[in-house]
Amino acid sequence: MDMKSAVVALAALAQETRLSIFRLLVKAGPKGLPAGRIAEKLDVPGATLSFHLKELSHAELVTFRQEGRFIYYSADFEHMAELMTFLTEHCCEGMPQACFAAVETALDQCCPPKVKRRPLRSRR
């Protein structure tokens, strides 16, 4: 990920409603949620939700798919991982294993792996 993409993603998340939407979609997992359900859960009017979903989509933090007459939105976990990697790639004064251990602990708390996860490694 380059600096410009990271700034766009972070700017999109630097707003309360968009951050709430993104966190809800992360919680929902890869299946995502229909737009109406997101609006209902967060008590956001449809037009406001559309605006915020467009901003998150532009930042490549959410994807969408149409199923029948419903549009489902999902967090883009791959892009989220790229952003997390970008933010931590130079951490811990050249000893990234300390940061990666913290990230793995956080991931295990939210998303326990179905199979044993390989340790994260630095991209150096």
Express as a percent the part of the chain with pLDDT over 70. Answer: 76
pTM of the model: 0.78
pLDDT at 110 over 70: no
**Residue 34 CB neighbours (<10 A):** 16
pLDDT at 114 over 60: no
Rounded CA separation 124/110 (Å): 27
Rounded CA separation 2/8 (Å): 10
* Domain locations in the chain as residue ranges: 3-76, 89-124
In this prediction, residue 13 carries a pLDDT of: 97
Fill in the amino acid letter for 19: L
Asked: is 3-76 a CATH 3.30.300.130 domain? The reply is: no
pLDDT at 67 over 80: yes
pLDDT at 94 over 90: no
